[in-house]
Amino acid sequence: MAEQRIAIVTGGNRGIGLEISRQLAGLGIKVILGSRDAARGVAAAGELAAAGLPVEARQLDVSSAKSISECMSWVRRDVGRLDILVNNAGIMIEEGDADPLEELEMIRETMQTNVYGPFLLSRLATPIMKSRRYGRIVNLSSGMGSLIEMGAGYIAYRLSKGGINIVTRVIAAETEGMGILVNSVDPGWVRTAMGGQGATRSVEKGAETAVWLATLPDNGPTGSFFRDRKPIAW
Ligand SMILES: NC(=O)c1ccc[n+]([C@@H]2O[C@H](COP(=O)([O-])OP(=O)(O)OC[C@H]3O[C@@H](n4cnc5c(N)ncnc54)[C@H](OP(=O)(O)O)[C@@H]3O)[C@@H](O)[C@H]2O)c1
């Protein structure tokens, strides 16, 4: 029997991250469900585990370098492998009529969670992946970070999703030929707390392309941006 793959999904306690966790675990992959709130993570993982899925909760606040370092030390030491990293956790702060200084603070806070955390996780994950010459990194981006779709408003969120796309490109270039595939995904407009109830997509549909990228075959693409399993422009 093939060895069981191990995935980390950040922000796995609700929304698209919870659904990605459910779908990956449904494929027999052991999911470490990251949640910044330990109790909410245990509750979410418990529901999936009760349905017979291989899921375990782990406290992981992606805005904290300390929390990320502790989690990845545990992975290196106690788990011993990491095959898949899904950088799903993200925030979109309502900007309203914030003044420029408040706006700058929102940008800092958003970059911390949506870009710097995923960057550090990727940096710590790739040596573990390299040791087995297998890795899949999936970064949850958005059409709002796409240069060709760029519009007014949401400057913090747009900067962060443009930023995560750069993380995708750089880490993909640095890991080329090592069995590690790194891609960005736009899940579309999804009915979650962030997307709102008026969104056009279910969480199942929103998770689908991320799960596909997390389980690409060895000859799959790297350094690209996808929506509905098709490449889109940056
Ligand atoms: N929904 C959409 O239409 C849409 C469209 C394009 C892209 N996306 C992207 O898809 C991803 C998931 O979005 P979603 O719609 O599922 O959002 P959501 O329903 O608001 O859920 C966000 C998740 O991220 C977690 N999170 C936030 N800050 C965190 C931190 N510092 N550390 C760890 N976890 C943290 C939240 O945890 P708590 O429960 O603790 O708050 C929650 O689990 C995001 O990256 C988002 O930008 C969403």
pLDDT band of residue 33 (cuts 50, 70, 90) is: very high
End-to-end CA, the chain: 40
pLDDT in tens, 157-166: 999 999 999 9
Q: What is the mean pLDDT of residues 138-158?
A: 96
Task: Please give the pLDDT value at position 184.
Answer: 98
pLDDT band of residue 37 (cuts 50, 70, 90) is: very high
3-state secondary structure 40-106: HHHHHHHHHHHCCCCEEEEECCCCCHHHHHHHHHHHHHHHCCCCEEEECCCCCCCCCCCCHHHHHHH
Question: Of the residues 116, 134, 154, 157, which is catalytic?
Answer: 157
Q: Minimal CA–CA distance to 25: which of 9, 43, 1?
A: 9
- Other Cβ atoms less than 10 A from the Cβ of 104: the count is 13
**What are the E-state strand segments in 106-193?**
135-140, 180-185
Place of tokens 């017979």: 52
Residue 195's region, left for phi above 0, alpha for psi from -120 to 50, else beta, is: alpha
62 lines ligand 1 (CB under 6 A): yes
Strand, coil or helix: 167:
helix
Rounded distance from Cα 81 to ligand 1 centre (Å) = 25
Question: Which of 71, 194, 204, 228 best tests ligand 1's pocket when mutated (most atoms within 8 Å of CB)?
Answer: 194
Rounded distance from Cα 29 to ligand 1 centre (Å) = 22
Looking at every residue in the chain, the average pLDDT score rounds to 97
Rounded distance from Cα 11 to ligand 1 centre (Å) = 6
Distance CA 218, CA 113 (A): 30
pLDDT in tens, 92-120: 998 788 899 999 999 999 999 999 999 99
Q: What is the DSSP letter of 5?
A: P
Task: Please give the pLDDT value at position 95.
Answer: 75
Strand, coil or helix: 221:
coil
What are the φ/ψ torsions at residue 230 (nearest 5 degrees)? -120, 145
Q: What is the DSSP letter of 21?
A: H
Distance CA 168, CA 76 (A): 22
Q: What is the CA radius of gyration of the chain?
A: 17
Lowest mean pLDDT among 5-9, 91-95, 184-188: 91-95
Q: What is the mean pLDDT of residues 224-229?
A: 98
pLDDT band of residue 179 (cuts 50, 70, 90) is: very high
> Does residue 230 carry a pLDDT above 60?
yes
Q: What is the mean pLDDT of residues 196-208?
A: 98
19 lines ligand 1 (CB under 6 A): no
- Residue 134: active-site member: no
Strand, coil or helix: 32:
strand
Rounded distance from Cα 15 to ligand 1 centre (Å) = 7
State which CATH number among 3.40.50.720, 3.40.50.2300, 2.40.40.20, 3.20.20.60 fits the domain covering 6-231.
3.40.50.720
> Does residue 1 carry a pLDDT above 60?
no
145 lines ligand 1 (CB under 6 A): no
| pTM for this model (two decimals) | 0.98
What are the extents of the domains in the chain? 6-231
Could you tell me the maximum CA-CA distance found in the chain, to the nearest angstrom? 59
pLDDT in tens, 51-87: 999 999 999 999 999 999 999 999 999 999 999 999 9
Q: What angle do CA 157, 209, 70 make, to 5 degrees?
A: 60
Work out which ligand 1 atom sits closest to the CA atom of 89: 24
Task: Please give the pLDDT value at position 96.
Answer: 80
